[in-house]
Chain A
Amino acid sequence: MWIYEKKLQYPVKVSTCNPTLAKYLIEQYGGADGELAAALRYLNQRYTIPDKVVGLLTDIGTEEFAHLEMIATMIYKLTKDATPQQLRDAGLGDHYANHDGALFYHNAAGVPFTATYIQAKGDPIADLYEDIAAEEKARATYQWLIDMSDDPDLNDGLRFLREREIIHSQRFREAVEILKEERDKKKIF
Protein backbone atom coordinates (compact mmCIF):
# COMPACT_ATOMS: atom_id res chain seq x y z
CA MET A 1 0.00 0.00 0.00
CA TRP A 2 1.14 3.51 -0.68
CA ILE A 3 0.37 6.80 0.97
CA TYR A 4 0.36 9.77 -1.37
CA GLU A 5 1.75 13.08 -0.25
CA LYS A 6 0.34 15.83 -2.41
CA LYS A 7 3.59 17.65 -3.10
CA LEU A 8 6.65 17.13 -5.25
CA GLN A 9 9.85 15.64 -3.84
CA TYR A 10 11.68 18.76 -5.01
CA PRO A 11 10.06 21.99 -6.23
CA VAL A 12 9.87 22.22 -10.02
CA LYS A 13 10.42 25.65 -11.50
CA VAL A 14 10.64 26.49 -15.18
CA SER A 15 11.77 29.93 -16.44
CA THR A 16 10.72 29.93 -20.09
CA CYS A 17 8.08 28.44 -22.38
CA ASN A 18 10.36 25.99 -24.18
CA PRO A 19 8.58 23.04 -25.85
CA THR A 20 11.86 21.84 -27.41
CA LEU A 21 13.23 21.07 -23.96
CA ALA A 22 10.01 19.21 -23.17
CA LYS A 23 10.66 17.04 -26.22
CA TYR A 24 14.06 16.07 -24.82
CA LEU A 25 12.82 15.64 -21.24
CA ILE A 26 10.25 13.06 -22.32
CA GLU A 27 13.22 10.67 -22.65
CA GLN A 28 13.24 10.45 -18.84
CA TYR A 29 9.47 9.97 -18.78
CA GLY A 30 8.87 7.08 -21.17
CA GLY A 31 12.39 6.18 -22.34
CA ALA A 32 14.39 2.98 -21.74
CA ASP A 33 16.38 4.52 -18.87
CA GLY A 34 13.56 6.75 -17.67
CA GLU A 35 11.83 7.00 -14.32
CA LEU A 36 8.86 4.83 -15.32
CA ALA A 37 11.16 1.99 -16.38
CA ALA A 38 13.12 2.37 -13.15
CA ALA A 39 10.05 2.31 -10.89
CA LEU A 40 8.52 -0.72 -12.63
CA ARG A 41 11.86 -2.57 -12.69
CA TYR A 42 12.58 -2.25 -8.96
CA LEU A 43 9.03 -2.75 -7.71
CA ASN A 44 8.82 -5.95 -9.74
CA GLN A 45 12.27 -7.40 -8.97
CA ARG A 46 11.75 -7.00 -5.24
CA TYR A 47 9.52 -10.08 -4.96
CA THR A 48 12.30 -12.45 -5.90
CA ILE A 49 15.33 -10.83 -4.28
CA PRO A 50 16.77 -11.93 -0.87
CA ASP A 51 14.92 -10.46 2.14
CA LYS A 52 17.84 -8.27 3.14
CA VAL A 53 17.48 -6.00 0.11
CA VAL A 54 13.71 -6.12 -0.56
CA GLY A 55 13.19 -2.92 1.43
CA LEU A 56 15.82 -1.08 -0.61
CA LEU A 57 14.08 -1.94 -3.88
CA THR A 58 10.72 -0.89 -2.44
CA ASP A 59 12.11 2.45 -1.24
CA ILE A 60 13.96 3.29 -4.43
CA GLY A 61 11.14 2.05 -6.68
CA THR A 62 8.74 4.29 -4.80
CA GLU A 63 11.06 7.28 -5.08
CA GLU A 64 11.27 6.75 -8.84
CA PHE A 65 7.54 7.48 -9.04
CA ALA A 66 8.20 10.75 -7.21
CA HIS A 67 10.81 11.53 -9.87
CA LEU A 68 8.38 10.57 -12.64
CA GLU A 69 5.95 13.08 -11.21
CA MET A 70 8.63 15.80 -11.23
CA ILE A 71 9.51 15.09 -14.87
CA ALA A 72 5.81 15.17 -15.77
CA THR A 73 5.48 18.56 -14.07
CA MET A 74 8.51 19.91 -15.95
CA ILE A 75 7.17 18.72 -19.31
CA TYR A 76 3.72 20.07 -18.53
CA LYS A 77 5.06 23.49 -17.54
CA LEU A 78 7.35 23.73 -20.57
CA THR A 79 4.45 23.12 -22.96
CA LYS A 80 1.50 24.65 -21.10
CA ASP A 81 -0.11 27.47 -23.12
CA ALA A 82 2.12 26.71 -26.13
CA THR A 83 0.21 27.11 -29.40
CA PRO A 84 0.03 24.28 -31.96
CA GLN A 85 2.39 26.40 -34.12
CA GLN A 86 4.93 26.65 -31.28
CA LEU A 87 4.72 22.89 -30.72
CA ARG A 88 5.22 22.28 -34.44
CA ASP A 89 8.25 24.58 -34.52
CA ALA A 90 9.69 22.68 -31.55
CA GLY A 91 9.46 19.39 -33.42
CA LEU A 92 6.39 18.30 -31.45
CA GLY A 93 4.05 18.34 -34.47
CA ASP A 94 3.87 14.53 -34.51
CA HIS A 95 3.08 14.52 -30.82
CA TYR A 96 0.38 17.16 -31.20
CA ALA A 97 -1.27 15.26 -34.05
CA ASN A 98 -1.80 12.25 -31.79
CA HIS A 99 -1.97 13.65 -28.25
CA ASP A 100 -2.65 17.42 -28.30
CA GLY A 101 -0.83 18.66 -25.19
CA ALA A 102 -1.25 15.39 -23.28
CA LEU A 103 1.78 13.61 -21.89
CA PHE A 104 2.48 10.13 -23.15
CA TYR A 105 4.95 7.40 -22.20
CA HIS A 106 7.35 7.51 -25.11
CA ASN A 107 10.98 8.51 -25.53
CA ALA A 108 12.40 11.70 -27.07
CA ALA A 109 12.13 10.14 -30.53
CA GLY A 110 8.44 9.24 -30.01
CA VAL A 111 8.97 5.48 -29.55
CA PRO A 112 6.29 4.23 -27.15
CA PHE A 113 7.26 2.68 -23.81
CA THR A 114 7.63 -1.09 -23.75
CA ALA A 115 8.09 -3.63 -20.95
CA THR A 116 11.15 -4.93 -22.82
CA TYR A 117 13.03 -1.92 -21.38
CA ILE A 118 13.16 -3.72 -18.03
CA GLN A 119 14.42 -7.10 -16.94
CA ALA A 120 13.87 -9.51 -14.08
CA LYS A 121 16.33 -12.36 -14.29
CA GLY A 122 15.62 -13.76 -10.83
CA ASP A 123 19.34 -13.94 -10.10
CA PRO A 124 20.00 -11.37 -7.36
CA ILE A 125 23.44 -10.34 -8.62
CA ALA A 126 22.30 -10.09 -12.25
CA ASP A 127 19.28 -8.02 -11.22
CA LEU A 128 21.25 -5.67 -8.95
CA TYR A 129 23.92 -5.15 -11.60
CA GLU A 130 21.15 -4.23 -14.04
CA ASP A 131 19.84 -1.75 -11.47
CA ILE A 132 23.27 -0.17 -11.00
CA ALA A 133 23.63 0.15 -14.78
CA ALA A 134 20.15 1.68 -14.99
CA GLU A 135 21.04 4.33 -12.40
CA GLU A 136 24.27 5.23 -14.20
CA LYS A 137 22.41 5.46 -17.52
CA ALA A 138 19.78 7.72 -15.97
CA ARG A 139 22.56 9.86 -14.45
CA ALA A 140 24.13 10.20 -17.89
CA THR A 141 20.76 11.11 -19.44
CA TYR A 142 20.37 13.92 -16.89
CA GLN A 143 23.84 15.16 -17.80
CA TRP A 144 22.99 15.30 -21.52
CA LEU A 145 19.75 17.11 -20.68
CA ILE A 146 21.58 19.67 -18.51
CA ASP A 147 24.14 20.10 -21.33
CA MET A 148 21.36 21.02 -23.77
CA SER A 149 19.23 23.15 -21.44
CA ASP A 150 19.75 26.86 -20.88
CA ASP A 151 17.02 27.14 -18.26
CA PRO A 152 18.73 27.62 -14.85
CA ASP A 153 15.59 26.83 -12.83
CA LEU A 154 14.97 23.65 -14.75
CA ASN A 155 18.63 22.63 -14.44
CA ASP A 156 18.35 23.05 -10.69
CA GLY A 157 15.67 20.34 -10.62
CA LEU A 158 17.60 18.16 -13.06
CA ARG A 159 20.71 18.38 -10.87
CA PHE A 160 18.70 17.22 -7.87
CA LEU A 161 17.45 14.22 -9.87
CA ARG A 162 20.98 13.42 -11.08
CA GLU A 163 22.23 13.46 -7.49
CA ARG A 164 19.52 10.97 -6.51
CA GLU A 165 20.70 8.62 -9.26
CA ILE A 166 24.18 8.71 -7.72
CA ILE A 167 22.79 7.84 -4.28
CA HIS A 168 20.62 5.04 -5.70
CA SER A 169 23.60 3.57 -7.52
CA GLN A 170 25.57 3.72 -4.26
CA ARG A 171 22.82 1.87 -2.36
CA PHE A 172 22.53 -0.85 -5.04
CA ARG A 173 26.30 -1.30 -4.90
CA GLU A 174 26.02 -1.71 -1.12
CA ALA A 175 23.22 -4.25 -1.64
CA VAL A 176 25.59 -6.32 -3.79
CA GLU A 177 28.16 -6.17 -0.98
CA ILE A 178 25.55 -7.35 1.54
CA LEU A 179 24.63 -10.32 -0.67
CA LYS A 180 28.28 -11.20 -1.35
CA GLU A 181 29.10 -11.39 2.34
CA GLU A 182 29.50 -14.85 3.89
CA ARG A 183 26.82 -15.32 6.51
CA ASP A 184 27.66 -16.40 10.09
CA LYS A 185 31.34 -16.33 9.29
CA LYS A 186 34.04 -14.24 10.88
CA LYS A 187 35.73 -11.93 8.44
CA ILE A 188 39.37 -12.93 8.11
CA PHE A 189 41.43 -11.34 5.37
Chain B
Amino acid sequence: MDEREKSYFTRMKSYSPYHSPFDPCRPIGKKFYSTPPNLYIGFQPPGMEQFDPHTALRKGTLWPAFWDYYENPYEAKG
Protein backbone atom coordinates (compact mmCIF):
# COMPACT_ATOMS: atom_id res chain seq x y z
CA MET B 1 0.00 0.00 0.00
CA ASP B 2 1.48 3.36 -0.95
CA GLU B 3 0.92 6.63 0.94
CA ARG B 4 -1.88 7.73 -1.36
CA GLU B 5 -3.83 4.53 -0.71
CA LYS B 6 -3.29 4.83 3.05
CA SER B 7 -4.84 8.29 3.10
CA TYR B 8 -8.30 7.03 2.05
CA PHE B 9 -8.06 3.66 3.77
CA THR B 10 -10.87 3.26 6.31
CA ARG B 11 -11.89 0.07 8.07
CA MET B 12 -15.60 0.77 8.24
CA LYS B 13 -17.78 2.00 5.40
CA SER B 14 -21.36 3.22 5.55
CA TYR B 15 -24.29 4.02 3.32
CA SER B 16 -27.78 5.40 3.94
CA PRO B 17 -30.53 3.07 2.77
CA TYR B 18 -33.74 4.66 1.48
CA HIS B 19 -36.42 5.04 4.14
CA SER B 20 -40.02 5.14 2.96
CA PRO B 21 -42.67 7.06 4.94
CA PHE B 22 -44.48 3.69 5.10
CA ASP B 23 -41.55 1.81 6.65
CA PRO B 24 -42.69 1.00 10.21
CA CYS B 25 -39.30 0.93 12.00
CA ARG B 26 -37.58 4.16 12.95
CA PRO B 27 -34.92 4.83 10.27
CA ILE B 28 -31.58 3.26 11.16
CA GLY B 29 -29.87 6.13 9.36
CA LYS B 30 -26.51 4.74 8.37
CA LYS B 31 -25.84 1.09 7.64
CA PHE B 32 -22.24 0.04 8.33
CA TYR B 33 -20.02 -2.67 6.92
CA SER B 34 -16.50 -3.68 7.79
CA THR B 35 -13.64 -3.58 5.27
CA PRO B 36 -10.67 -5.04 7.19
CA PRO B 37 -7.02 -4.55 6.13
CA ASN B 38 -6.70 -7.99 4.50
CA LEU B 39 -8.75 -6.62 1.60
CA TYR B 40 -6.10 -4.04 0.77
CA ILE B 41 -2.63 -5.39 1.48
CA GLY B 42 -2.28 -8.21 -1.06
CA PHE B 43 0.70 -10.51 -0.59
CA GLN B 44 2.29 -9.46 2.69
CA PRO B 45 5.52 -7.54 1.99
CA PRO B 46 8.66 -8.44 4.00
CA GLY B 47 9.89 -6.37 6.95
CA MET B 48 6.55 -5.11 8.22
CA GLU B 49 6.38 -3.61 11.72
CA GLN B 50 5.60 -6.12 14.49
CA PHE B 51 3.93 -6.03 17.90
CA ASP B 52 6.04 -7.34 20.77
CA PRO B 53 5.23 -11.04 21.37
CA HIS B 54 3.06 -10.49 24.46
CA THR B 55 0.93 -7.82 22.77
CA ALA B 56 0.66 -9.94 19.63
CA LEU B 57 -0.74 -12.88 21.63
CA ARG B 58 -3.44 -10.64 23.11
CA LYS B 59 -4.39 -9.00 19.83
CA GLY B 60 -4.49 -12.11 17.68
CA THR B 61 -1.93 -10.84 15.16
CA LEU B 62 1.77 -10.09 15.08
CA TRP B 63 1.27 -7.26 12.60
CA PRO B 64 -0.17 -3.82 13.47
CA ALA B 65 -1.12 -3.40 9.80
CA PHE B 66 -3.53 -6.36 10.10
CA TRP B 67 -5.00 -5.43 13.46
CA ASP B 68 -8.60 -4.30 13.22
CA TYR B 69 -10.44 -3.49 16.44
CA TYR B 70 -14.19 -3.95 16.08
CA GLU B 71 -16.84 -2.02 18.00
CA ASN B 72 -20.61 -2.17 17.46
CA PRO B 73 -21.12 0.83 15.14
CA TYR B 74 -24.82 1.14 16.06
CA GLU B 75 -24.30 1.52 19.82
CA ALA B 76 -24.63 5.32 19.93
CA LYS B 77 -28.04 5.30 18.23
CA GLY B 78 -29.95 4.08 21.31
Q: Which residues of A contact B (CB under 8 A)?
A: 10, 139-140, 142-143, 146-147, 159-164, 166-167, 169-170, 173-174, 177
Q: Chain B interface residue count: which class?
A: 20 to 34
User: Are B59 and A163 touching (Cβ within 8 A)?
Assistant: yes
Hey, which chain A residues are within 8 Å of B74, CB to CB? 147
CB-based contact B66/A166 at 8 Å: yes
Smallest CB–CB gap between A159 and chain B, Å?
A: 6
Stretch with Cβ within 8 A of A (4 or more), from B1-9, B20-28, B36-44: B36-44
| Chain A hits for B66, CB < 8 A | 163, 166-167, 170
Q: Is the interface of B mostly helix, strand, loop or mixed?
A: loop
Contact present for A167 and B61 (CB under 8 Å): yes
| Residue numbers in A under 8 Å from B78 (CB-CB) | none
With beta carbons under 8 angstroms apart, the residue of B57, B61, B71, B72 that contacts A166 is B61
Query: In the assembled complex, which residues on chain A have CB atoms less than 8 Å from the CB atom of B67?
Result: 163
Residue among B34, B44, B68, B70 having the largest count of chain A Cβ atoms under 10 Å: B70
Q: Does B60 contact A (CB under 8 A)?
A: yes
- Say whether B70 contacts A159, CB under 8 Å: yes
Taking A10-B60, A167-B61, A170-B66 as given, write out 20 further A-B residue pairs in contact, using a Cβ cutoff of 8 Å, ordered by the A residue number: A10-B57, A142-B70, A143-B34, A147-B72, A159-B60, A159-B69, A160-B59, A160-B60, A162-B60, A163-B59, A163-B66, A164-B61, A166-B37, A166-B61, A167-B38, A169-B36, A169-B38, A170-B41, A174-B44, A177-B42
User: Which of A162, A170, A173 has a CB less than 8 Å from the CB of B70?
Assistant: A162
**Pairs across A and B, CB under 8 Å, 16 listed:** A10-B60, A140-B34, A143-B34, A146-B71, A147-B72, A147-B74, A160-B60, A162-B70, A163-B60, A163-B61, A166-B61, A166-B66, A167-B60, A170-B41, A173-B38, A177-B42
**B68 and A163 contacting across the interface, CB-CB below 8 Å:** yes
Q: Are B69 and A174 closer than 8 Å at their CB atoms?
A: no
CB distance from B33 to the nearest CB of A (A): 9
**4 closest A-B pairs (Cβ-Cβ)?**
A163-B60, A170-B38, A147-B72, A160-B60
